[in-house]
Amino acid sequence: MTKKRILSGMRPTGPLHLGNLHGALANWIRMQDEYDCFFFIADWHALTSDYEDTSRIPDYVRHLMVDWLSAGLSPQKSTLFVQSKVVEHAELYLVLSMITPVPWLERNPTYKEQIVQLNNKDLSTFGFLGYPVLQAADIIMYKADGVPVGLDQVPHVEITREIARRFNHLYGEIFPEPQALLTKTSKILGWDRRKMSKSYENAIYLSDDPDKIASKVAKFITDPNRARRSDPGNPDICNVFSFHKMYTPTDQVADIDKQCRSAQIGCVACKRIMARSLADALAPIREKRAYYEQRPELVDEIISAGCTRARHVAAETMKQVRAAIRI
Ligand code: TRP
Ligand code: SF4
Protein backbone atom coordinates (compact mmCIF):
# COMPACT_ATOMS: atom_id res chain seq x y z
CA MET A 1 0.00 0.00 0.00
CA THR A 2 1.44 3.37 -0.93
CA LYS A 3 1.42 6.08 1.68
CA LYS A 4 -0.63 9.19 1.18
CA ARG A 5 1.41 12.25 0.40
CA ILE A 6 1.36 15.40 2.49
CA LEU A 7 3.14 18.68 1.98
CA SER A 8 3.59 21.76 4.08
CA GLY A 9 5.87 24.75 4.31
CA MET A 10 7.08 27.49 6.63
CA ARG A 11 8.31 30.93 5.73
CA PRO A 12 11.85 31.67 6.96
CA THR A 13 10.96 34.68 9.10
CA GLY A 14 12.99 33.87 12.22
CA PRO A 15 13.88 31.12 14.67
CA LEU A 16 11.19 28.69 15.84
CA HIS A 17 9.74 29.07 19.33
CA LEU A 18 7.89 26.74 21.70
CA GLY A 19 4.54 27.68 20.17
CA ASN A 20 5.77 26.53 16.74
CA LEU A 21 7.25 23.36 18.26
CA HIS A 22 4.05 22.31 20.00
CA GLY A 23 1.91 23.38 17.06
CA ALA A 24 2.96 22.71 13.48
CA LEU A 25 6.34 21.08 14.01
CA ALA A 26 5.30 18.39 16.53
CA ASN A 27 2.46 17.53 14.18
CA TRP A 28 4.80 17.17 11.20
CA ILE A 29 7.20 15.04 13.22
CA ARG A 30 4.35 12.71 14.19
CA MET A 31 3.18 12.41 10.58
CA GLN A 32 6.54 11.33 9.21
CA ASP A 33 5.92 7.59 9.63
CA GLU A 34 2.39 7.51 8.35
CA TYR A 35 2.76 9.71 5.26
CA ASP A 36 5.08 10.39 2.37
CA CYS A 37 6.08 13.84 3.61
CA PHE A 38 7.35 16.89 1.75
CA PHE A 39 8.32 19.80 4.00
CA PHE A 40 9.88 22.92 2.59
CA ILE A 41 11.12 26.38 3.47
CA ALA A 42 9.07 28.94 1.56
CA ASP A 43 11.77 31.53 0.95
CA TRP A 44 10.03 33.09 -2.05
CA HIS A 45 6.96 33.54 0.09
CA ALA A 46 9.10 35.50 2.56
CA LEU A 47 9.66 38.01 -0.25
CA THR A 48 5.96 38.73 -0.67
CA SER A 49 5.95 40.96 2.41
CA ASP A 50 9.68 41.46 3.14
CA TYR A 51 11.00 42.28 -0.31
CA GLU A 52 12.72 45.50 0.82
CA ASP A 53 15.27 43.91 3.10
CA THR A 54 16.20 40.37 2.10
CA SER A 55 19.53 40.34 3.93
CA ARG A 56 18.48 38.01 6.72
CA ILE A 57 16.66 35.42 4.60
CA PRO A 58 19.70 33.14 4.01
CA ASP A 59 20.43 32.96 7.77
CA TYR A 60 16.79 32.33 8.54
CA VAL A 61 16.61 29.52 5.98
CA ARG A 62 19.57 27.79 7.52
CA HIS A 63 18.44 28.35 11.08
CA LEU A 64 15.00 26.98 10.23
CA MET A 65 16.45 23.84 8.66
CA VAL A 66 18.61 23.30 11.77
CA ASP A 67 15.55 23.89 13.98
CA TRP A 68 13.67 21.24 12.01
CA LEU A 69 16.49 18.69 12.13
CA SER A 70 17.18 19.27 15.82
CA ALA A 71 13.52 18.91 16.74
CA GLY A 72 13.19 15.61 14.88
CA LEU A 73 12.31 16.05 11.22
CA SER A 74 14.30 13.35 9.53
CA PRO A 75 15.82 13.58 6.04
CA GLN A 76 15.64 9.76 5.93
CA LYS A 77 11.88 9.80 6.36
CA SER A 78 10.83 13.06 4.73
CA THR A 79 11.81 15.19 1.77
CA LEU A 80 13.09 18.45 3.28
CA PHE A 81 13.80 21.19 0.76
CA VAL A 82 14.00 24.88 -0.04
CA GLN A 83 11.38 26.32 -2.38
CA SER A 84 13.65 28.60 -4.42
CA LYS A 85 16.02 25.73 -5.20
CA VAL A 86 13.22 23.96 -7.03
CA VAL A 87 12.73 26.53 -9.78
CA GLU A 88 9.78 24.59 -11.21
CA HIS A 89 7.66 26.27 -8.50
CA ALA A 90 8.15 29.57 -10.32
CA GLU A 91 7.12 28.10 -13.65
CA LEU A 92 3.97 26.48 -12.32
CA TYR A 93 3.16 29.71 -10.47
CA LEU A 94 3.29 31.55 -13.79
CA VAL A 95 1.01 29.04 -15.51
CA LEU A 96 -1.50 29.08 -12.63
CA SER A 97 -1.47 32.88 -12.55
CA MET A 98 -2.88 32.82 -16.10
CA ILE A 99 -6.02 30.98 -15.00
CA THR A 100 -6.63 32.47 -11.55
CA PRO A 101 -9.34 35.14 -11.46
CA VAL A 102 -8.17 38.22 -9.54
CA PRO A 103 -11.41 38.42 -7.49
CA TRP A 104 -10.56 35.03 -5.89
CA LEU A 105 -7.39 36.65 -4.57
CA GLU A 106 -9.01 39.92 -3.55
CA ARG A 107 -11.59 37.99 -1.53
CA ASN A 108 -8.89 36.03 0.34
CA PRO A 109 -9.40 36.77 4.07
CA THR A 110 -5.65 36.65 4.91
CA TYR A 111 -4.98 39.18 2.18
CA LYS A 112 -7.63 41.58 3.45
CA GLU A 113 -6.43 41.21 7.04
CA GLN A 114 -2.73 41.65 6.38
CA ILE A 115 -3.17 44.68 4.14
CA VAL A 116 -4.70 46.40 7.19
CA GLN A 117 -2.42 44.88 9.86
CA LEU A 118 0.93 45.33 8.16
CA ASN A 119 0.28 48.97 7.36
CA ASN A 120 3.96 49.84 7.79
CA LYS A 121 4.77 48.03 4.55
CA ASP A 122 3.72 48.73 0.99
CA LEU A 123 1.82 45.57 0.16
CA SER A 124 0.11 46.88 -2.95
CA THR A 125 2.28 44.53 -5.01
CA PHE A 126 1.34 41.90 -7.57
CA GLY A 127 3.35 39.32 -5.61
CA PHE A 128 1.51 39.89 -2.36
CA LEU A 129 -1.87 39.54 -4.03
CA GLY A 130 -0.59 36.41 -5.77
CA TYR A 131 0.64 34.76 -2.56
CA PRO A 132 -2.00 31.99 -2.72
CA VAL A 133 -1.18 31.24 -6.38
CA LEU A 134 2.43 30.51 -5.44
CA GLN A 135 1.17 28.43 -2.52
CA ALA A 136 -1.13 26.52 -4.88
CA ALA A 137 1.85 25.80 -7.13
CA ASP A 138 3.82 24.52 -4.09
CA ILE A 139 1.05 22.14 -3.18
CA ILE A 140 -0.20 20.73 -6.47
CA MET A 141 3.34 20.37 -7.86
CA TYR A 142 3.66 17.29 -5.61
CA LYS A 143 0.03 16.18 -6.08
CA ALA A 144 -0.30 16.25 -2.32
CA ASP A 145 -3.35 14.55 -0.79
CA GLY A 146 -3.17 16.54 2.42
CA VAL A 147 -1.77 19.83 3.65
CA PRO A 148 -1.23 20.08 7.43
CA VAL A 149 -1.81 23.75 8.30
CA GLY A 150 -3.21 26.01 10.96
CA LEU A 151 -6.65 27.57 10.69
CA ASP A 152 -5.21 30.77 9.17
CA GLN A 153 -4.03 28.84 6.10
CA VAL A 154 -7.27 27.02 5.36
CA PRO A 155 -8.48 29.71 2.90
CA HIS A 156 -5.22 29.23 0.96
CA VAL A 157 -5.82 25.51 0.66
CA GLU A 158 -9.37 26.27 -0.46
CA ILE A 159 -8.07 28.58 -3.22
CA THR A 160 -5.60 25.83 -4.17
CA ARG A 161 -8.49 23.40 -4.63
CA GLU A 162 -10.30 25.91 -6.81
CA ILE A 163 -7.23 26.55 -8.94
CA ALA A 164 -6.59 22.80 -9.33
CA ARG A 165 -10.20 22.26 -10.36
CA ARG A 166 -9.99 25.06 -12.90
CA PHE A 167 -6.76 23.71 -14.36
CA ASN A 168 -8.24 20.22 -14.67
CA HIS A 169 -11.38 21.62 -16.27
CA LEU A 170 -9.42 23.61 -18.86
CA TYR A 171 -6.58 21.22 -19.71
CA GLY A 172 -7.45 17.75 -18.42
CA GLU A 173 -7.29 15.92 -15.10
CA ILE A 174 -3.75 16.25 -13.80
CA PHE A 175 -4.10 17.48 -10.25
CA PRO A 176 -5.89 15.94 -7.27
CA GLU A 177 -7.63 18.43 -4.98
CA PRO A 178 -5.70 18.56 -1.70
CA GLN A 179 -7.39 18.44 1.71
CA ALA A 180 -6.44 20.80 4.52
CA LEU A 181 -5.44 18.75 7.59
CA LEU A 182 -6.11 21.12 10.44
CA THR A 183 -3.41 21.41 13.12
CA LYS A 184 -4.64 21.96 16.65
CA THR A 185 -3.58 25.43 17.72
CA SER A 186 -0.93 25.59 20.38
CA LYS A 187 -2.13 27.27 23.56
CA ILE A 188 1.33 28.26 24.65
CA LEU A 189 1.49 31.76 26.09
CA GLY A 190 4.51 34.02 26.38
CA TRP A 191 5.74 35.77 29.53
CA ASP A 192 3.10 38.48 29.07
CA ARG A 193 0.29 35.87 28.90
CA ARG A 194 -0.42 36.67 25.28
CA LYS A 195 -0.18 33.92 22.66
CA MET A 196 3.49 33.14 22.12
CA SER A 197 4.58 34.90 18.96
CA LYS A 198 7.74 36.25 17.40
CA SER A 199 6.08 39.59 16.74
CA TYR A 200 5.02 40.06 20.39
CA GLU A 201 8.63 39.52 21.49
CA ASN A 202 7.40 37.18 24.20
CA ALA A 203 8.78 33.92 22.82
CA ILE A 204 11.17 31.26 24.07
CA TYR A 205 13.13 29.90 21.10
CA LEU A 206 14.26 26.31 20.55
CA SER A 207 17.77 27.72 20.23
CA ASP A 208 17.71 29.56 23.60
CA ASP A 209 20.31 28.20 26.04
CA PRO A 210 19.48 27.44 29.72
CA ASP A 211 20.61 30.92 30.89
CA LYS A 212 18.49 32.63 28.29
CA ILE A 213 15.53 30.42 29.23
CA ALA A 214 16.00 31.28 32.94
CA SER A 215 16.10 35.01 32.27
CA LYS A 216 12.98 34.84 30.10
CA VAL A 217 11.12 32.70 32.64
CA ALA A 218 12.07 35.21 35.38
CA LYS A 219 9.94 37.76 33.51
CA PHE A 220 6.83 35.56 33.42
CA ILE A 221 3.66 37.05 34.87
CA THR A 222 2.35 34.64 37.53
CA ASP A 223 -1.01 34.61 39.36
CA PRO A 224 -1.83 38.33 39.09
CA ASN A 225 -3.73 38.22 42.41
CA ARG A 226 -0.70 37.05 44.34
CA ALA A 227 0.79 40.39 45.35
CA ARG A 228 2.95 39.28 48.30
CA ARG A 229 5.08 36.20 48.94
CA SER A 230 2.85 35.42 51.94
CA ASP A 231 -0.34 35.42 49.81
CA PRO A 232 -1.56 31.99 48.70
CA GLY A 233 -1.44 31.60 44.92
CA ASN A 234 -3.73 29.97 42.39
CA PRO A 235 -1.82 27.72 39.98
CA ASP A 236 -4.92 27.26 37.82
CA ILE A 237 -4.55 30.76 36.45
CA CYS A 238 -0.75 30.89 36.42
CA ASN A 239 1.18 30.52 33.16
CA VAL A 240 4.29 29.31 35.02
CA PHE A 241 2.18 26.44 36.28
CA SER A 242 0.94 25.63 32.76
CA PHE A 243 4.59 25.17 31.82
CA HIS A 244 5.18 22.98 34.88
CA LYS A 245 2.37 20.73 33.69
CA MET A 246 4.12 20.33 30.34
CA TYR A 247 7.73 19.98 31.48
CA THR A 248 8.04 19.11 35.20
CA PRO A 249 7.67 15.50 36.48
CA THR A 250 4.05 14.86 37.58
CA ASP A 251 4.67 14.15 41.27
CA GLN A 252 6.68 17.35 41.59
CA VAL A 253 3.87 19.26 39.87
CA ALA A 254 1.42 18.03 42.51
CA ASP A 255 3.76 19.29 45.26
CA ILE A 256 4.12 22.68 43.62
CA ASP A 257 0.34 22.93 43.33
CA LYS A 258 -0.05 22.38 47.11
CA GLN A 259 2.87 24.60 48.07
CA CYS A 260 1.59 27.44 45.90
CA ARG A 261 -1.92 27.30 47.34
CA SER A 262 -0.53 27.39 50.89
CA ALA A 263 2.13 30.04 50.15
CA GLN A 264 4.91 27.61 51.03
CA ILE A 265 6.71 28.35 47.80
CA GLY A 266 7.45 31.74 46.32
CA CYS A 267 7.13 32.57 42.63
CA VAL A 268 10.85 33.19 42.22
CA ALA A 269 11.74 29.67 43.42
CA CYS A 270 8.86 28.19 41.48
CA LYS A 271 10.06 29.82 38.26
CA ARG A 272 13.58 28.59 38.86
CA ILE A 273 12.30 25.01 38.99
CA MET A 274 10.26 25.51 35.86
CA ALA A 275 13.16 27.05 33.93
CA ARG A 276 15.27 24.02 34.86
CA SER A 277 12.55 21.55 33.75
CA LEU A 278 12.12 23.40 30.47
CA ALA A 279 15.87 23.56 29.81
CA ASP A 280 16.09 19.81 30.56
CA ALA A 281 13.22 19.04 28.21
CA LEU A 282 14.93 20.99 25.44
CA ALA A 283 18.34 19.40 26.08
CA PRO A 284 18.02 16.75 23.34
CA ILE A 285 17.11 19.44 20.81
CA ARG A 286 20.01 21.59 22.03
CA GLU A 287 22.44 18.69 21.64
CA LYS A 288 21.31 17.94 18.11
CA ARG A 289 21.60 21.63 17.26
CA ALA A 290 25.21 21.65 18.47
CA TYR A 291 25.85 18.59 16.32
CA TYR A 292 24.51 20.23 13.15
CA GLU A 293 26.10 23.59 13.88
CA GLN A 294 29.48 21.92 14.02
CA ARG A 295 28.80 20.26 10.66
CA PRO A 296 27.66 22.95 8.22
CA GLU A 297 28.58 20.76 5.21
CA LEU A 298 26.21 18.08 6.47
CA VAL A 299 23.35 20.60 6.61
CA ASP A 300 24.24 21.69 3.04
CA GLU A 301 24.18 18.06 1.93
CA ILE A 302 20.81 17.42 3.55
CA ILE A 303 19.35 20.49 1.87
CA SER A 304 20.78 19.62 -1.50
CA ALA A 305 19.67 15.97 -1.34
CA GLY A 306 16.13 17.05 -0.38
CA CYS A 307 16.03 19.59 -3.21
CA THR A 308 17.18 16.96 -5.71
CA ARG A 309 14.42 14.61 -4.61
CA ALA A 310 11.82 17.37 -4.80
CA ARG A 311 13.04 18.48 -8.23
CA HIS A 312 12.64 14.97 -9.51
CA VAL A 313 8.92 15.02 -8.72
CA ALA A 314 8.52 18.64 -9.83
CA ALA A 315 10.18 18.03 -13.20
CA GLU A 316 7.80 15.15 -13.88
CA THR A 317 4.76 17.27 -13.02
CA MET A 318 5.96 20.12 -15.23
CA LYS A 319 6.36 17.73 -18.15
CA GLN A 320 2.71 16.81 -17.79
CA VAL A 321 1.70 20.45 -17.40
CA ARG A 322 3.55 21.54 -20.53
CA ALA A 323 1.99 18.71 -22.49
CA ALA A 324 -1.46 19.63 -21.19
CA ILE A 325 -1.19 23.32 -22.08
CA ARG A 326 0.76 22.54 -25.27
CA ILE A 327 3.56 24.99 -24.50
N1 TRP B 1 1.65 30.29 3.70
C2 TRP B 1 2.23 29.36 4.63
C3 TRP B 1 2.40 30.06 5.99
O4 TRP B 1 2.59 31.26 6.02
C5 TRP B 1 3.55 28.84 4.15
C6 TRP B 1 3.40 28.05 2.91
C7 TRP B 1 3.87 28.39 1.67
C8 TRP B 1 2.74 26.80 2.77
N9 TRP B 1 3.53 27.42 0.77
C10 TRP B 1 2.85 26.44 1.41
C11 TRP B 1 2.07 25.97 3.67
C12 TRP B 1 2.27 25.26 0.93
C13 TRP B 1 1.50 24.80 3.19
C14 TRP B 1 1.61 24.45 1.83
O15 TRP B 1 2.39 29.39 6.98
FE1 SF4 C 1 2.52 30.49 39.75
FE2 SF4 C 1 4.38 29.09 40.97
FE3 SF4 C 1 3.83 31.59 41.77
FE4 SF4 C 1 2.13 29.62 42.21
S5 SF4 C 1 4.16 29.79 43.05
S6 SF4 C 1 1.63 31.67 41.42
S7 SF4 C 1 2.38 28.37 40.38
S8 SF4 C 1 4.70 30.97 39.83
For 145-176, give one letter per residue: b (16+ CB within 10 A) or e: bbbbbbeebebbbbbbbbbbebbbeebeebbe
- Please count the residues of the chain: 327
Answer yes or no: is pLDDT of 277 > 90: yes
- Sign of the Cα torsion 9, 15, 17, 22 reads positive
8 Å CB contact between 39 and 224:
no
Residue 273, ligand 1, Cβ within 6 A? no
**Predicted pLDDT at 182:** 96
Query: To the nearest whole number, what is the mean pLDDT of the chain?
Result: 96
CA geometry: angle at 120 spanning 191 and 59, to 5°? 65
- Give yes or no for a contact between 139 and 145, defined as CB atoms under 8 angstroms apart: no
| 153 CB within 6 A, ligand 1 | yes
Ligand 2 atom at minimal distance to the Cα of residue 270? 2
- Rounded to an integer, what distance in angstroms lies between the CA atom of residue 129 and that of residue 115? 10
Classify burial at 314, counting beta carbons within 10 Å of its beta carbon; exposed 0-12, middle 13-18, buried 19 or more: buried
265 confidence band (pLDDT: 50, 70, 90) = very high
Per residue in 57-71, pLDDT (tens digit) is 999 999 999 999 999
Q: Do the beta carbons of residue 63 and residue 207 sit within 8 Å?
A: yes
pLDDT score for 118: 84
Judge contact between 267 and 241, C-beta under 8 A. Answer: no
- Residues 81-90 pLDDT 10s: 999 999 999 9
**269 pLDDT above the threshold of 80:** yes
Asked if residue 31 has pLDDT above 80, the reply is: yes
The pLDDT of residue 223:
97
Strand pairing of 146-149 and 79-82? Answer: unpaired
Apex 283 CA angle, 264 and 80, nearest 5: 135
- Nearest CA owner, ligand 1 atom 8: 9
Confidence of residue 188 (pLDDT cuts 50, 70, 90): very high
In the predicted structure, residue 325 carries a pLDDT above the cut 90: yes
pLDDT at 1 over 80: no
Residues 6 or more apart in contact with residue 313 via CB below 8 angstroms? 38, 141, 142
Domains in the chain with CATH codes? 5-188+296-325 (3.40.50.620), 210-289 (1.10.240.10)
Q: Which ligand is nearest to the CA of 232?
A: 2
Does the CB atom of residue 148 touch ligand 1 within 6 A?
no
Measured distance CA(312)–CA(247) in Å, rounded: 42
Q: pLDDT, tens digit, for every residue of 117-135?
A: 888 888 999 999 999 999 9
Banded pLDDT at 262 (limits 50, 70, 90): very high
Instruction: Measure the CA–CA gap between 189 and 238, rounded to whole angstroms.
Output: 11
pLDDT attached to residue 254: 98
- Cβ count near 65 (within 10 Å): 24
Chain centroid to CA 96: 25
**How much is the average pLDDT of 222-234?**
96
Q: Which pLDDT value is given to residue 185?
A: 82
Better pLDDT: 266 or 49 = 266
User: What pLDDT sits at residue 288?
Assistant: 98
pLDDT at 189: 97
Q: Measured between alpha carbons, how far apart are the two ends of the chain, in Å?
A: 35
Cα distance between residue 154 and residue 141, in whole Å: 18
Give the predicted TM-score (pTM) of the model: 0.95
Q: Tally Cβ neighbours within 10 Å of residue 240.
A: 22
Q: Return the pLDDT at 84.
A: 98
Rounded CA gap, 229 and 262, in Å? 11
159 in contact with ligand 1, CB cutoff 6 A: no
Pocket test for ligand 2, best of 217, 225, 270, 274 (most atoms within 8 A of CB): 270
For position 281, what pLDDT does the model report?
Answer: 97
Residue 269 · residue 295 · CB < 8 Å: no
Q: What percent of the chain has pLDDT over 90?
A: 94
Ligand 1 geometric centre to CA of 164 (Å): 16
Judged by DSSP in three states, 266 sits in coil
| pLDDT reading at 187 higher than 90 | no
Which of 29-43, 180-194, 229-243 has the lowest average pLDDT?
Answer: 180-194
pLDDT at 71: 98
